[in-house]
Structure 1
Amino acid sequence: MVYDGIVLGLIVGLIRGGFRYGLGQFGKLRIIGGLWFPALLLMQFALFAMTERLPAIASASGFFFIAVYVAGLYILWLNRKNQGFPLIFAGVFLNFLVMAVNGGKMPVSLEAASVLDPYYVDMLRSGTVATKHFLMDSASRLAFLGDIIPLSSPYPRTQVISIGDIVMNVGIFLYIQQIMVQGKRTSPAQEITARQ
């Protein structure tokens, strides 16, 4: 879901800031510890791959995911003074919280998951999903923070998201807008109108 906020933020930023100016501004993006974000993402992909092949990793995957989230939250905290980052931190923290109280995995509502590929839904039902997700049940804690919101057509991507995902993406969108539009001069026509 993080990609949605980035893509939407870029599109709107380019429209508001202009293609050349907006891209130039985006190129100036500076985040404390920013290189760690792609590294943490790669670590998650590596965990997905290893859990399918190594039972020992699969059984401890929840702890690994929690560690990745803690590292990510620390980096977000370091950047908390940037516009949008408090919301990004809050969204990631909500996802971290629900995962932490559910053994390092995100509960997914079966009703919401009905928009997904039936193959994935069957895997959720059987408990064979070797990722950070599991089928929500009556024992799931803080279930309202889990993946309970279905997105499908006309939305471009079919997926199930959480409240934390929404909060996080609003923060990402605001941050990208601030980066790509800040300092943009008004057009000559706007300056003339302002003087009149």
Structure 2
Amino acid sequence: MVFDGILLSFIVGFIRKGNLKGLAQLKLKHGWVFPLLLIFQIFIFLFQNDYEWLANASGYLYISVYIVGLYFLFINRHHKGFVLISIGVFLNFLVIAVNGGRMPVSLEAGALLDPNYLDVLKEDLYAKHAILTEATRLGFLGDIIPLTDPYPRSQIVSIGDVIMNIGVFVFIQYLMLHHIKEKKTEAASIQLKGGEAK
């Protein structure tokens, strides 16, 4: 859902006549951490079924990814939207951590999606997910919210995902629009001073 949120944020930003200049000026502390974590997660997903040791360790590896990600968000918390992103990530981390490194997924919510998704899930082929049962801890923080038609891509999301995407939206809107607002404010200030001088 994160990628959906990012795409929607850019679309709305362009509709609001924003641009990408703010991205070029963006300065994040340890900015290399985010793409590295993304590549690391993709690596686990692609090779977990080929190597038994990786499958067994994947839960702990995902927990480690979240810990590093939370640290990255903390040191960049002054950016708009990062507090909300941090809250969403922490909620996902919490439910994953107390369930052995797996995100619980509701079969009831999944019943609204592609049956193949549930088949794969039941066979434990998703390193990051597990079926939500009565033994699941903090199940309400798991993937329990189904997104289907008219949403363009069917999926199940968590409360943390929703909060995180709101933060992403706030962050991208700020990046795309704040420098435009600043220019308008400066222009108005110059005009006002010019008027006073006359």
Moved over 3 A (4+): none
2:150 pairs with 1:167: no
The range that moved more, 80-89 or 110-119, is 110-119
Counterparts of 1:114 and 1:40 in 2: how far apart (Å)? Answer: 31
TM-score, structure 1 normalization: 0.89
Instruction: Write out per-residue CA displacement over residues 62-115 of structure 1, whole angstroms, 9 at most, x where no aligned residue.
Output: 000000110000000001111100000000000000000000000000011113
Paired residue for 1:9? 9
Q: Which residue of structure 1 aligns with residue 36 of structure 2? A: 39
Alignment of 1:90-109 (within 5 A): 90-109=87-106
Which among 108, 120, 123 is matched to residue 123 of structure 1?
A: 120
CA RMSD of aligned residues (A): 2.0
> Which residue does 2:196 correspond to in 1?
none
Identity %: 51
Q: Secondary structure at the match of 2:22?
A: helix
Moved more, 109-118 or 38-47: 109-118
1:41 deviates by 0.5
Contact map agreement 1:145 1:162 (CA 8 A) in 2: yes
Q: Does structure 2 conserve the Cα–Cα contact (< 8 Å) formed by 1:112 and 1:148? A: yes
Looking at structure 1, the residues matched to 61 and 23 of structure 2 have their Cα atoms a distance apart, in angstroms, of: 32
The residue type equivalent to 1:153 in the other structure is D
What is the CA-CA distance between 1:172 and the residue it aligns to? 0.5
- In structure 1, what is the equivalent of residue 195 of structure 2? none
- What is the TM-score with the length of structure 2 in the denominator? 0.88
Aligned to 2:173: 177
Structure 1, unaligned stretches of length 5 or more?
none
Q: Name the amino acid aligned to 1:173.
A: F
Larger CA Rg, structure 1 vs 2: 2
Distance 1:29 1:2 in 2: 19
CA distance in 2, matches of 1:159, 1:29: 31
- Equivalent pairs counted in the alignment come to 187
Contact kept, 8 Å, 2:44 with 2:58, in 1: the verdict is: yes
Contact 2:87 2:160 in 1 (8 A): yes
Q: Is the 8 A contact 2:144 2:156 kept in 1?
A: yes
- Out of 150, 153, 157, the residue aligned to residue 153 of structure 2 is 157
SS at structure 2 position matched to 1:53 = coil
The aligned amino acid for 1:5 is G
